[in-house]
Structure 1
C-alpha cells in the first residue's frame, strides 16, 4: 500500500464522484473501510462502497481488470450467483479518479451487511463450485466471450511483475531468476495436461469471501482470469498447505467444492492442483515483491514461500 492512498485528495475525489448520486441537500462523506492491495471507501449516506486500485496500480494501470471485474460480477449476480454486486451501470464504472497527480481506477459496489465470524467453509466451497459451473456452462455467452483476457494470463502477469523497476531494485536477482524459471516450468507442465480453461475468480481465499445472513458471498474479482478451476482451488489451499494458515477452513472449503463438482481423484486432476498450488505460490512471491515486504510478517511468509518452493541461499 502506497502512502498516497490515504490522502485527503483521494477522499475528496471519491466525494466528487458520488455527490451527483445523493439526494438534494445530502452531502456524501467518504469513510475508510479498509485497505490491503486496494482501498475500500464507504460513500455515506449512500449504500455504496468505492474500491480503488492502489497497491495493484504498480502494474494494472489500464483499467482492464476493473472493467472485467464489474462485467463478470454483474453477469453472475443476474444469474443468482453468490457474489458481491456492482452498483448500477451508471455508478459501477470503472471510473478514473484524479488525485495527488495520479489517476486511480475506481469501481463502485453495493454495500454488503457482513455478519460476525468466518463464513461457513463448506458453504463457501459449494458456492464457488456453483459459480464455476455457471461460468463453464455459459463460456460461449457473448458477455463472457468478449471479456478481455487470455488463457493462463497469470503467468504473463507474474513475469511482468518481475520486470518492474521497483522489484528489480529490491528483490535479489538470484531469487527473481529462480521464481521466473520455476514459473516457466509450471506453465509448460500445465500445457501438457491440456485442461480446459474458463473464467475463474483468480484470488479465491478466505479474505475474499464474506459472511452474510444469506450465506457466503465471493467478492474482489479483480484477479478474475481464464484458467482451469484448479487455479481457484489452489488459491483456497496454498496458504494452508504452504504456510499452514487457515488450514481447517481451507480443507473444509475444498470438501464443499467437491460435494458439488465431484472429488479430485484422477492423476491429471491431482497433478493440476499440485502444479497450480506451486504456480500460485510463485505468483504471490512476485506480488509481494511488487507491493513491498514492509513488515515482519510479510518478510517471514515470503521467506517461507521461497523455502517451500525449493529456494536455497
Structure 2
C-alpha cells in the first residue's frame, strides 16, 4: 500500500481491535503488499487489513479458515474468543487472527511435504465453493491481452506470457478425477514455522485443481517427499505458477514490494521453468 493508505490501514486495524475489547496501543507491520498484516500489541493479535477491492477475498479467507480449523488442518487460526468475521472500518476489510511467534530454523523439505499432505487431506474433508485454477489462468490471459490493465508490458513479453498461459492451461485441464481443493499458493512465504509446527497462511487463494498445482509453488526438494505426485506435471505447474505471478506484477495497480525487479525476474523464471520441463519453445 502507499504510505498514506498504510497509515489509515494501521489505524483501522488498531481501532477495530480496540472496539472489540482488545488492547491495541501499537502495531508492527509484518507485511505490506496489496494488503497489510499487523501484529497488534500488547494484545498480540494479528490483523489482516485489506482495501475494498479485496473485501470478498477477506470474507472467503475467514470461511476457509473456520472450516479447516474444524478438521484439524495445519493452518493459522482466527483469533480465539472473537466472532469469526470480517470487520469494516474506514473502507478497509479487517480480519483478526492468532499471532504465532516464528521459530528461527528453516522447515526441512520432509516436514514441508508432510504439512502439505496433511493440508491436502484436510481439504478433502470440507465442502467449499472455490474456483478452479483454470479460472485464475483465464483472468491472467485477459489481463495480458488488456493494455489498459498491463500498459507497461512490452509486446514481445506480452505475446510470450499469453502463449505460455494458453499452452499450460491444457496441462491442468481435463483431469477432474484427480482434482481436489487446494491451498492455491503454498510457497515458503505462506508456511510459518511455529512451535505448533508448520502452519499455512494466506488462505484466500484456496481453489480447485490437481495437487501438482500446489506442489509447483513449493521448493523442488519438497516434491521429492511427495511421491504420489506426477513430477512431470509439477514441473509444468511450476512454469504456470511463475507465469501467473509475473502477470500480476505487470498490473498497473500492483503493489507488490520491489515490483520492477520481479517483473523482469519473473519472466526469467518462467523461461527457466519452461526449459526445465522441455517446453522452452512455448
Instruction: Tell me the TM-score normalized by structure 2.
Output: 0.83
* Distance apart, 1:192 and its partner CA: 4.3
Residues 197-221 of structure 1: CA distance to partner in whole angstroms, max 9, x if unpaired?
A: 2211111111111111222111122
Distance (Å, rounded) in 1 between the aligned partners of 2:169 and 2:268: 22
Question: Any idea what SS the aligned residue of 1:216 has?
Answer: strand
Q: Choose from 204, 209, 212 the match for 2:194.
A: 212
1:270 matched to which residue of 2? 231
1:152 aligns with 2:134: yes
Instruction: Check 1:109–1:121 CA distance in 2 against 1; reply closer, same or farther (3 A cut).
Output: same
Question: Any idea what SS the aligned residue of 2:40 has?
Answer: strand
2:18 matched to which residue of 1? 19
* Distance apart, 1:41 and its partner CA: 0.9
Q: CA RMSD in A?
A: 2.8
Structure 2: unaligned runs, 5 residues or longer: 275-279
2:245 matched to which residue of 1? 284
Structure 1: unaligned runs, 5 residues or longer: 237-249
1:52 aligns with 2:49: yes
1:246 matched to which residue of 2? none
Instruction: Check 1:53–1:159 CA distance in 2 against 1; reply closer, same or farther (3 A cut).
Output: farther
Question: Any idea what SS the aligned residue of 1:235 has?
Answer: coil
* Contact residue 172 and residue 210 of structure 2 kept, 8 A: no
Distance (Å, rounded) in 1 between the aligned partners of 2:233 and 2:59: 29
Relative to its length, the structure with more helix (as a share) is: 1
Instruction: Tell me the TM-score normalized by structure 1.
Output: 0.76
1:107 aligns with 2:95: yes
1:122 matched to which residue of 2? 110
* Contact residue 153 and residue 225 of structure 1 kept, 8 A: no
Distance (Å, rounded) in 1 between the aligned partners of 2:58 and 2:120: 20
* Contact residue 13 and residue 49 of structure 2 kept, 8 A: no
The 5 Å alignment of 1:188-199 reads 188-199=170-181
